[in-house]
Amino acid sequence: QLSRSISTLNNSVAAIAAQQAAQAAGRQAALGQVSTIPDGLGKGGLQVDNSLTQGWTNAKGPTQSQSGGKTTVTIEQTADKAILNWETFNVGRNTTVDFQQQSNWAVLNRVNDPNARPSEIQGQINAPGTVMIMNRNGVIFSGSSQVNVRNLVAAAATITDDQFTQRGIYVDANGTQPTFTDAAGKVEVQRGALIQTHNPATSTDAGGYALLLGSEVENAGSIITARGQATLAAGDSFYIRKGVGTTGNDRSTTRGNEVATSLKAGSTSGKVSNSGLIMASTGDITLTGHQVQQNGVALASTSVDTRGTI
Residue 37 CA to residue 39 CA, distance in Å, equals: 7
Residue 149 CA to residue 99 CA, distance in Å, equals: 9
- pLDDT classification of 253: cutoffs 50, 70, 90: low
Residue 233: is its pLDDT beyond 60?
yes
Residue 170 CA to residue 242 CA, distance in Å, equals: 7
The per-residue pLDDT for 59 is 97
Mind listing the pLDDT tens digit for each residue in 277-302? 999 988 999 999 999 999 999 999 87
Asked whether 285 and 300 are in contact (CB, 8 A), the reply is yes
- pLDDT classification of 250: cutoffs 50, 70, 90: low
Rounded alpha-carbon distances, angstroms, from residue 45 to 22, 28, 94, 155, 285? 29, 22, 12, 19, 32
Rounded alpha-carbon distances, angstroms, from residue 120 to 9, 39, 73, 129, 205? 37, 12, 16, 21, 32
Q: What is the mean pLDDT of residues 52-64?
A: 89
User: How would you class 89 by CB atoms within 10 Å of its CB: exposed for 0-12, middle for 13-18, buried for 19 or more?
Assistant: buried
Mind listing the pLDDT tens digit for each residue in 95-111? 999 999 999 999 999 99
- pLDDT classification of 52: cutoffs 50, 70, 90: confident
Asked whether 228 and 254 are in contact (CB, 8 A), the reply is no
What is the DSSP-derived secondary structure letter of residue 167? H
Residue 291 CA to residue 78 CA, distance in Å, equals: 41
φ, ψ of residue 71 in degrees (nearest 5): -115, 135
Residue 279 CA to residue 292 CA, distance in Å, equals: 18
Q: What is the mean pLDDT of residues 209-236?
A: 96
The per-residue pLDDT for 151 is 96
pTM, two decimal places: 0.93
The per-residue pLDDT for 270 is 94
Q: Under 8 Å CB-to-CB from 86, ≥6 apart: which residues?
A: 46, 47, 48, 49, 109, 110, 111, 112
- The residue type at 159: I
Q: What is the mean pLDDT of residues 24-34?
A: 95
Sign of the four-CA dihedral 13, 14, 18, 24: positive
Mind listing the pLDDT tens digit for each residue in 124-151? 999 999 999 999 999 999 999 999 999 9
Average pLDDT of every residue of the chain: 91
Residue 16 burial (CB count, 10 A): 14
Bridge-based pairing of strands 63-67 and 70-76 is antiparallel
Q: What is the mean pLDDT of residues 171-191?
A: 93
- pLDDT classification of 68: cutoffs 50, 70, 90: very high
What is the DSSP-derived secondary structure letter of residue 199? P
Residue 6: is its pLDDT beyond 90?
no
The per-residue pLDDT for 243 is 74
Rounded alpha-carbon distances, angstroms, from residue 107 to 21, 66, 111, 172, 308? 34, 24, 13, 20, 29
Sign of the four-CA dihedral 9, 150, 147, 237: positive
